[in-house]
Structure 1
Amino acid sequence: MNTCKKWIIAGCIAFTLLAFSSCVSIKNNGIQAGGSDSMISNGKLFTAIWMQQSAEYKALCLQAFQLADLRLAGILTNQKPAKPLAIITDIDETFLDNSPYAIHQSLQGKDFDPATWNKWVEKAGADTIAGGLAFFQKAASQGVTIFYVTNRDRAGRAATLKNLQKFNFPNADDAHLLTMDKSSSKEERRQKIARDYTIALLLGDNLADFSPLFDNHPNSAARTAAVMALKEQFGKKFIILPNPNYGDWENALYNYKHGLNAAEKAAAFRRAGKRY
């Protein structure tokens, strides 16, 4: 075998080994392309990085909070409610950013997991979303009480308060933080607040943050029908923040079935997507 052929063969072997090594490296980092097992984690990596890096996401958040401020100003100017005014707000992806957790999970090829989520919550390390802190502080300075109605559970209560207090969110105390107890529905907690306050605005990233009409619809079509039934409330009393990473919109694709594996979730996404 002449020297030229030897170099060609050696080069081919080296290229093959390099390609194999790269595939293994990518797979081990949970970001391999294609395949049912990686579709969900890759998708959530994409959306979480969009939330961190895109100026458009910041603009959408600022737009939501500036609209909320405009609506609140109108209420304060034109209405004389019998009870004190309050705002009810969700926490996660409404004004606290959990994208680092989503990216951590995605790079390991994993989705949301209660055990790792609880570890993230305990860190009290979530940053604020653009516009949120300024809005709530201004509202509080105008005499409006803020209530935090979240589906974080009791175990994460102390860490959640620590996270809010770190940024000096108003009313960040036990009396104004309503965590999940027996039900994920927030309606009972909203009604409890409404007994003593006039609810000026509700803020959230998930439709169930606003009304029981949005609780546990069987599919995406039913959720859309519910939105249309309350369409006059959006941008007025309901202020919604963008969250492409998770939520009931995703659960509806799975028909609210729990315990699906990655392949089953990927199949649900493929069925849901419209094609040309």
Structure 2
Amino acid sequence: MKKIIIGMLLVLQGSIGISYATGCDYPNIDGVKWYHISDEKRAIYLEVYNIAAEKIKAEVESQKLQKGQWGIILDIDETTLDNSLNEYENYKTYEFNEDEYNKAKGVSLPGAKMLVNLVHNLGGYVSFVTNRNGEAKGRVEATVKNLKQEGIYFDQVIFANGEEKVAHNKNPRFKAIETGKYLDDIILTNKLPAHEVIAYFGDNIQDFPNMTQDNMRKVDDDGYSMFGKKYFMFPNPTYGSWQ
């Protein structure tokens, strides 16, 4: 009987350990750690940005694109700026707080500065489309300051106009960049003339035109054919629309 009780206690202890590691009260600890310190993450970002640079140069040359005719669109968080430090250092007590973006200082991700500078030097526009809430007090100013402090070149930054799901739909903002027609409710640093977008960058499937978790699960591999050519995806095992 004593052995049975000990065995049951060991099983219970194991169950508690598993609950601690995977429970919803704590963030994805291994994912956060991998994202913040792994050499693999650094290699992937440099790999993707280097490949994208070659693809962009080839596209500009083949289409004979002139200054002001074209540009690229990037996400900010975990695509251009790394905001994992606060979560990594405080993973046991961490709770997502959008207001922290006004205080935290994101760090430029490997290859990001090289890529936007290349596009600028080639004559392209650099647009950031972020789901940071532009209606939050100080959010626009804090974001612009952070990008400039990290030496990230940009021509415009377009924010979400709220926190709800519909506000996080980037497609209307993508269309505005391509057409040069900006709706009154779009929150942005400045407007650019219409131009062709030849590359998109993000860490979420929804950072790319007309893509969601649901609709992309229904397509075969051919539906992802633009990735590595016009669409460039970065890893983010810490949070996303997949949750």
TM-score bucket of the superposed structures, by smaller chain: 0.7 to 0.9
Matched residue type, 2:147? L
Cα RMSD (Å) of the superposition?
2.4
Matched residue type, 2:176? K
Q: State the TM-score, normalizing by the size of structure 2.
A: 0.77
Structure 2 unaligned spans of 5+: 1-15, 180-193
1:56 corresponding residue in structure 2: 40
1:267 corresponding residue in structure 2: none
TM-superposed CA distance for 1:117, in Å, is 2.9
Give the 3-state SS of the residue equivalent to 1:233 in structure 2. coil
Q: Name the larger-Rg structure.
A: 1
Match of 1:102 among 62, 75, 87: 87
- For the 8 Å contact 2:83–2:104, the answer to whether it is kept is no
Give the 3-state SS of the residue equivalent to 2:201 in structure 1. strand
Higher share in helix: 1
TM-superposed CA distance for 1:43, in Å, is 5.4
- For the 8 Å contact 1:101–1:117, the answer to whether it is kept is no
Match of 1:132 among 93, 104, 112: 112
Matched residue type, 2:160? M
Structure 1 unaligned spans of 5+: 1-31, 251-276
| 1:105-129 Cα shifts (integer Å, max 9, x gaps) | 5221x443xxx3312x112411111
Give the 3-state SS of the residue equivalent to 2:64 in structure 1. coil
1:253 corresponding residue in structure 2: none
Which shows bigger deviation, 85-94 or 44-53?
44-53
- For the 8 Å contact 1:64–1:239, the answer to whether it is kept is yes
Give the 3-state SS of the residue equivalent to 1:171 in structure 2. coil
2:174 corresponding residue in structure 1: 190
Q: 1:41 to 1:86 in 2, by over 3 A?
A: farther
Match of 1:209 among 196, 207, 210: 207
Give the 3-state SS of the residue equivalent to 1:248 in structure 2. coil
Counterparts of 1:1-276 in structure 2 under 5 Å?
A: 33-35=17-19, 39-40=23-24, 42=26, 44-81=28-65, 84-104=69-89, 106-108=91-93, 110-112=94-96, 116-119=97-100, 121-154=101-134, 155=136, 156-171=139-154, 176-182=156-162, 183-195=167-179, 196-214=194-212, 217=214, 222-226=215-219, 228=221, 230-250=223-243
Aligned equivalents of 1:44, 1:163: Cα separation in 2? 26
Q: 1:79 to 1:148 in 2, by over 3 A?
A: same
Q: 1:140 to 1:227 in 2, by over 3 A?
A: farther
Aligned equivalents of 1:56, 1:40: Cα separation in 2? 26
Q: How many residues align?
A: 207
- For the 8 Å contact 1:136–1:169, the answer to whether it is kept is yes
- For the 8 Å contact 1:40–1:111, the answer to whether it is kept is no
TM-superposed CA distance for 1:70, in Å, is 1.1
Aligned equivalents of 1:54, 1:227: Cα separation in 2? 31
Identical pairs, percent: 25
1:4 corresponding residue in structure 2: none
TM-superposed CA distance for 1:158, in Å, is 0.9
- For the 8 Å contact 1:48–1:102, the answer to whether it is kept is yes
Q: State the TM-score, normalizing by the size of structure 1.
A: 0.69
